[in-house]
A = this chain, B = another copy of it.
Amino acid sequence: MKVVRTEGALRDALTPHRRADHSIGFVPTMGALHEGHLSLLRAARLECDVVVVSIFVNPLQFGPREDLAAYPRSEERDLHLAEGAGTDIVFAPTTEEMYPAGTSTMVTAADVALPLEGEARPGHFDGVATVVAKLFNQVQPHKAYFGQKDAQQVAVIQAMVRDLSIPVEVVVCPTVREPDGLAMSSRNAYLSSEERERATVLWRALEAGHAALSEGAAQEVAEKVMEDVVESETGVVLGYARAVDPTTFGPSDGTSPILLVIAARVGSTRLIDNLPVSEA
Protein backbone atom coordinates (compact mmCIF):
# COMPACT_ATOMS: atom_id res chain seq x y z
CA MET A 1 0.00 0.00 0.00
CA LYS A 2 1.34 3.38 -1.06
CA VAL A 3 0.74 6.54 0.99
CA VAL A 4 0.97 9.77 -1.02
CA ARG A 5 0.53 13.30 0.26
CA THR A 6 0.61 15.47 -2.86
CA GLU A 7 -1.45 15.64 -6.03
CA GLY A 8 1.73 15.08 -8.04
CA ALA A 9 2.65 11.92 -6.13
CA LEU A 10 -0.94 10.69 -6.50
CA ARG A 11 -0.82 11.19 -10.27
CA ASP A 12 2.53 9.38 -10.42
CA ALA A 13 1.13 6.46 -8.42
CA LEU A 14 -1.93 6.23 -10.69
CA THR A 15 -0.20 6.67 -14.06
CA PRO A 16 0.86 3.00 -14.53
CA HIS A 17 -2.67 1.88 -13.65
CA ARG A 18 -4.22 4.31 -16.13
CA ARG A 19 -1.77 3.17 -18.82
CA ALA A 20 -2.78 -0.44 -18.12
CA ASP A 21 -6.45 0.59 -18.35
CA HIS A 22 -7.08 -0.60 -14.80
CA SER A 23 -10.43 0.30 -13.25
CA ILE A 24 -10.00 2.71 -10.34
CA GLY A 25 -12.28 2.58 -7.29
CA PHE A 26 -12.26 5.55 -4.92
CA VAL A 27 -13.45 6.02 -1.34
CA PRO A 28 -13.24 9.61 -0.06
CA THR A 29 -13.07 9.80 3.75
CA MET A 30 -12.19 12.19 6.55
CA GLY A 31 -10.28 9.39 8.30
CA ALA A 32 -11.27 8.02 11.71
CA LEU A 33 -12.13 4.89 9.76
CA HIS A 34 -14.78 2.49 11.05
CA GLU A 35 -16.66 -0.51 9.70
CA GLY A 36 -18.78 1.78 7.51
CA HIS A 37 -15.69 3.01 5.62
CA LEU A 38 -14.23 -0.49 5.51
CA SER A 39 -17.39 -1.82 3.86
CA LEU A 40 -16.90 0.81 1.12
CA LEU A 41 -13.26 -0.20 0.67
CA ARG A 42 -14.22 -3.88 0.46
CA ALA A 43 -16.88 -3.11 -2.15
CA ALA A 44 -14.29 -1.17 -4.17
CA ARG A 45 -11.80 -4.04 -3.76
CA LEU A 46 -14.34 -6.52 -5.18
CA GLU A 47 -15.27 -4.37 -8.18
CA CYS A 48 -12.09 -2.52 -9.21
CA ASP A 49 -8.46 -3.18 -10.12
CA VAL A 50 -7.07 -0.39 -7.96
CA VAL A 51 -8.50 0.93 -4.70
CA VAL A 52 -7.75 4.51 -3.66
CA VAL A 53 -8.84 6.03 -0.35
CA SER A 54 -8.45 9.69 0.55
CA ILE A 55 -8.04 10.79 4.15
CA PHE A 56 -8.65 14.52 4.43
CA VAL A 57 -10.52 16.42 7.12
CA ASN A 58 -12.00 19.05 4.83
CA PRO A 59 -12.25 22.44 6.58
CA LEU A 60 -14.64 23.76 3.89
CA GLN A 61 -17.45 21.51 5.11
CA PHE A 62 -17.28 22.59 8.76
CA GLY A 63 -19.16 25.64 9.99
CA PRO A 64 -17.44 28.22 12.22
CA ARG A 65 -19.03 26.75 15.37
CA GLU A 66 -18.56 23.10 14.36
CA ASP A 67 -16.06 20.44 15.43
CA LEU A 68 -13.23 20.87 12.89
CA ALA A 69 -10.50 21.08 15.53
CA ALA A 70 -11.97 18.27 17.65
CA TYR A 71 -12.77 15.95 14.73
CA PRO A 72 -11.09 12.58 15.50
CA ARG A 73 -7.76 12.03 13.74
CA SER A 74 -6.03 8.65 13.89
CA GLU A 75 -3.85 8.27 10.84
CA GLU A 76 -1.69 5.37 11.96
CA ARG A 77 -4.73 3.29 12.84
CA ASP A 78 -6.49 4.40 9.63
CA LEU A 79 -3.56 3.25 7.47
CA HIS A 80 -3.55 -0.13 9.21
CA LEU A 81 -7.30 -0.57 8.67
CA ALA A 82 -7.17 0.63 5.07
CA GLU A 83 -4.39 -1.83 4.27
CA GLY A 84 -6.35 -4.66 5.87
CA ALA A 85 -9.34 -3.84 3.65
CA GLY A 86 -7.22 -4.12 0.51
CA THR A 87 -6.40 -0.48 -0.25
CA ASP A 88 -3.67 0.13 -2.84
CA ILE A 89 -3.18 3.89 -2.54
CA VAL A 90 -3.89 6.28 0.35
CA PHE A 91 -4.08 9.98 -0.58
CA ALA A 92 -3.59 11.98 2.62
CA PRO A 93 -2.93 15.59 1.63
CA THR A 94 -2.45 18.57 3.92
CA THR A 95 -4.93 21.45 3.89
CA GLU A 96 -2.27 23.59 2.14
CA GLU A 97 -1.92 20.95 -0.60
CA MET A 98 -5.68 20.89 -1.19
CA TYR A 99 -6.33 24.61 -0.77
CA PRO A 100 -3.23 26.66 -1.52
CA ALA A 101 -3.43 30.36 -0.70
CA GLY A 102 -5.74 32.12 -3.15
CA THR A 103 -8.01 29.12 -3.75
CA SER A 104 -11.54 30.45 -4.13
CA THR A 105 -13.48 28.55 -6.82
CA MET A 106 -16.36 26.65 -5.17
CA VAL A 107 -18.97 24.17 -6.25
CA THR A 108 -22.41 25.26 -5.07
CA ALA A 109 -24.40 22.16 -4.25
CA ALA A 110 -27.71 21.42 -5.97
CA ASP A 111 -31.09 22.40 -4.50
CA VAL A 112 -31.34 19.05 -2.70
CA ALA A 113 -28.72 20.54 -0.34
CA LEU A 114 -31.10 23.24 0.92
CA PRO A 115 -33.45 21.54 3.44
CA LEU A 116 -32.71 19.54 6.62
CA GLU A 117 -28.90 19.16 6.93
CA GLY A 118 -28.49 22.17 4.64
CA GLU A 119 -30.56 24.29 7.03
CA ALA A 120 -28.82 22.90 10.10
CA ARG A 121 -25.34 23.31 8.60
CA PRO A 122 -25.20 26.32 6.23
CA GLY A 123 -22.41 25.92 3.66
CA HIS A 124 -21.73 22.31 4.64
CA PHE A 125 -22.80 20.74 1.34
CA ASP A 126 -21.02 23.38 -0.77
CA GLY A 127 -17.85 22.37 1.07
CA VAL A 128 -18.59 18.69 0.47
CA ALA A 129 -19.36 19.23 -3.23
CA THR A 130 -16.20 21.30 -3.71
CA VAL A 131 -13.83 18.82 -2.12
CA VAL A 132 -15.44 15.82 -3.81
CA ALA A 133 -15.29 17.55 -7.22
CA LYS A 134 -11.59 18.27 -6.62
CA LEU A 135 -10.87 14.74 -5.39
CA PHE A 136 -12.67 13.30 -8.43
CA ASN A 137 -10.41 15.39 -10.68
CA GLN A 138 -7.32 14.31 -8.77
CA VAL A 139 -8.13 10.58 -8.69
CA GLN A 140 -10.27 10.32 -11.87
CA PRO A 141 -11.92 7.15 -10.57
CA HIS A 142 -14.25 4.91 -12.56
CA LYS A 143 -16.34 4.25 -9.47
CA ALA A 144 -16.67 6.20 -6.21
CA TYR A 145 -18.19 4.71 -3.08
CA PHE A 146 -20.38 6.52 -0.56
CA GLY A 147 -22.35 5.34 2.46
CA GLN A 148 -26.15 5.49 2.59
CA LYS A 149 -25.69 6.76 6.18
CA ASP A 150 -25.11 10.27 4.80
CA ALA A 151 -28.15 10.10 2.52
CA GLN A 152 -28.45 13.82 1.75
CA GLN A 153 -24.73 13.96 0.96
CA VAL A 154 -25.26 11.06 -1.45
CA ALA A 155 -28.09 12.99 -3.14
CA VAL A 156 -25.85 16.09 -3.39
CA ILE A 157 -23.03 14.08 -4.98
CA GLN A 158 -25.38 12.29 -7.38
CA ALA A 159 -26.87 15.64 -8.44
CA MET A 160 -23.39 17.13 -8.92
CA VAL A 161 -22.22 14.18 -11.01
CA ARG A 162 -25.35 14.43 -13.17
CA ASP A 163 -25.46 18.25 -13.45
CA LEU A 164 -21.74 18.67 -14.23
CA SER A 165 -21.48 15.45 -16.30
CA ILE A 166 -18.65 14.11 -14.14
CA PRO A 167 -17.47 10.81 -15.67
CA VAL A 168 -17.73 8.64 -12.55
CA GLU A 169 -20.17 6.00 -11.34
CA VAL A 170 -21.45 6.72 -7.84
CA VAL A 171 -21.95 3.52 -5.83
CA VAL A 172 -24.02 3.76 -2.64
CA CYS A 173 -23.40 1.11 0.03
CA PRO A 174 -25.78 0.25 2.88
CA THR A 175 -25.37 1.81 6.31
CA VAL A 176 -23.31 -0.35 8.66
CA ARG A 177 -24.78 -0.56 12.18
CA GLU A 178 -23.68 -1.63 15.63
CA PRO A 179 -25.53 -4.70 16.94
CA ASP A 180 -28.00 -2.42 18.75
CA GLY A 181 -28.78 -0.47 15.57
CA LEU A 182 -26.64 2.65 16.05
CA ALA A 183 -25.28 3.72 12.65
CA MET A 184 -21.48 3.67 12.48
CA SER A 185 -20.10 7.22 12.51
CA SER A 186 -16.75 8.75 13.36
CA ARG A 187 -18.65 11.13 15.63
CA ASN A 188 -19.83 8.21 17.82
CA ALA A 189 -16.38 8.52 19.40
CA TYR A 190 -17.60 11.72 21.10
CA LEU A 191 -20.30 9.86 23.07
CA SER A 192 -19.96 9.03 26.77
CA SER A 193 -21.08 5.50 27.66
CA GLU A 194 -24.41 6.87 28.89
CA GLU A 195 -24.88 8.91 25.70
CA ARG A 196 -23.89 5.90 23.66
CA GLU A 197 -26.90 4.01 25.04
CA ARG A 198 -29.26 6.93 24.50
CA ALA A 199 -27.99 7.30 20.92
CA THR A 200 -29.85 4.15 19.85
CA VAL A 201 -32.97 6.31 19.98
CA LEU A 202 -32.35 7.42 16.37
CA TRP A 203 -32.58 3.84 15.13
CA ARG A 204 -35.52 3.05 17.40
CA ALA A 205 -37.36 6.09 16.03
CA LEU A 206 -36.65 5.07 12.41
CA GLU A 207 -37.90 1.55 13.09
CA ALA A 208 -41.05 2.90 14.73
CA GLY A 209 -41.64 5.24 11.78
CA HIS A 210 -41.14 2.34 9.38
CA ALA A 211 -43.55 0.16 11.35
CA ALA A 212 -46.17 2.92 11.29
CA LEU A 213 -45.86 3.30 7.50
CA SER A 214 -46.08 -0.49 7.09
CA GLU A 215 -49.33 -0.44 9.02
CA GLY A 216 -50.68 2.15 6.59
CA ALA A 217 -50.08 5.33 8.57
CA ALA A 218 -49.77 8.61 6.65
CA GLN A 219 -46.28 10.16 6.34
CA GLU A 220 -47.15 12.91 8.82
CA VAL A 221 -48.21 10.28 11.33
CA ALA A 222 -44.94 8.37 10.86
CA GLU A 223 -43.05 11.63 11.42
CA LYS A 224 -44.97 12.21 14.65
CA VAL A 225 -44.23 8.63 15.76
CA MET A 226 -40.49 9.22 15.22
CA GLU A 227 -40.62 12.55 17.07
CA ASP A 228 -42.39 10.94 20.02
CA VAL A 229 -39.76 8.19 20.28
CA VAL A 230 -36.93 10.75 20.29
CA GLU A 231 -38.67 13.03 22.78
CA SER A 232 -39.23 10.11 25.16
CA GLU A 233 -35.43 9.78 25.58
CA THR A 234 -33.75 12.04 28.14
CA GLY A 235 -30.67 14.05 27.13
CA VAL A 236 -31.60 13.90 23.44
CA VAL A 237 -32.79 16.94 21.46
CA LEU A 238 -34.59 16.32 18.17
CA GLY A 239 -33.29 18.11 15.08
CA TYR A 240 -35.80 16.75 12.59
CA ALA A 241 -37.66 13.51 11.87
CA ARG A 242 -39.10 13.48 8.39
CA ALA A 243 -40.40 11.30 5.57
CA VAL A 244 -38.88 12.69 2.35
CA ASP A 245 -38.35 12.00 -1.33
CA PRO A 246 -34.80 10.56 -1.45
CA THR A 247 -33.87 12.58 -4.57
CA THR A 248 -35.16 16.04 -3.60
CA PHE A 249 -35.31 15.70 0.21
CA GLY A 250 -38.59 17.58 -0.04
CA PRO A 251 -41.89 16.00 0.97
CA SER A 252 -42.54 12.69 -0.76
CA ASP A 253 -45.52 12.80 -3.09
CA GLY A 254 -46.37 9.22 -2.16
CA THR A 255 -45.54 7.81 -5.60
CA SER A 256 -41.75 7.82 -5.21
CA PRO A 257 -39.97 5.75 -2.56
CA ILE A 258 -39.86 7.28 0.91
CA LEU A 259 -36.76 7.93 2.95
CA LEU A 260 -37.12 8.37 6.69
CA VAL A 261 -34.46 10.81 7.91
CA ILE A 262 -33.63 11.87 11.43
CA ALA A 263 -31.19 14.17 13.21
CA ALA A 264 -30.76 14.59 16.95
CA ARG A 265 -28.28 15.98 19.43
CA VAL A 266 -27.20 13.45 22.05
CA GLY A 267 -25.47 15.47 24.74
CA SER A 268 -23.35 17.80 22.62
CA THR A 269 -22.97 15.38 19.71
CA ARG A 270 -25.18 15.80 16.65
CA LEU A 271 -26.04 12.48 14.99
CA ILE A 272 -27.97 11.67 11.79
CA ASP A 273 -29.47 8.48 10.45
CA ASN A 274 -31.97 7.36 7.83
CA LEU A 275 -33.96 4.39 6.61
CA PRO A 276 -35.10 3.85 3.02
CA VAL A 277 -38.66 2.55 2.88
CA SER A 278 -39.66 0.79 -0.31
CA GLU A 279 -43.39 1.40 -0.02
CA ALA A 280 -45.66 3.95 1.55
Contacts and interface: CB of A to CB of B under 8 A. Distances in A.
B105 A107 contact: yes
A39 interface: no
Work out how many copies of this chain go into the complex.
2
Contacts of A244: none
A149 B107 CA distance: 26
A165 B105 contact: no
A146 to B, nearest CB: 16
Interface string A156-171: 0001101111110000
A105 B163 contact: yes
Contact of A137 (B7, B110, B130, B166): B166
Nearest to A106: B108
A140 interface: yes
A104 interface: yes
A111 B106 contact: no
A129 interface: yes
Contacts of A277: none
B165 A104 contact: no
A255 to B, nearest CB: 16
A133 interface: yes
Contact of A104 (B105, B137, B163): B163
B163 A103 contact: yes
Nearest to A11: B167
Contacts of A165: 7, 134, 137-138
Given A164-B134, A165-B137, A165-B138, A159 B7 contact: no
B106 A107 contact: yes
B105 A129 contact: yes
A164 B110 contact: no
Contacts of A137: 164-167
A111 B140 CA distance: 26
Interface string A85-113: 00000000000000000111111111110
Contacts of A129: 105
Which 9 pairs between the two chains have the least Cβ-Cβ distance?
Answer: A105-B163, A104-B110, A137-B165, A106-B108, A104-B111, A105-B110, A105-B160, A103-B163, A138-B165
Interface of A: 7, 102-112, 129-130, 133-134, 137-138, 140, 159-160, 162-167
17 contacts: A102-B111, A102-B159, A103-B110, A103-B162, A103-B163, A104-B110, A104-B112, A104-B159, A104-B163, A105-B107, A105-B159, A105-B164, A106-B108, A107-B107, A108-B108, A134-B165, A137-B167
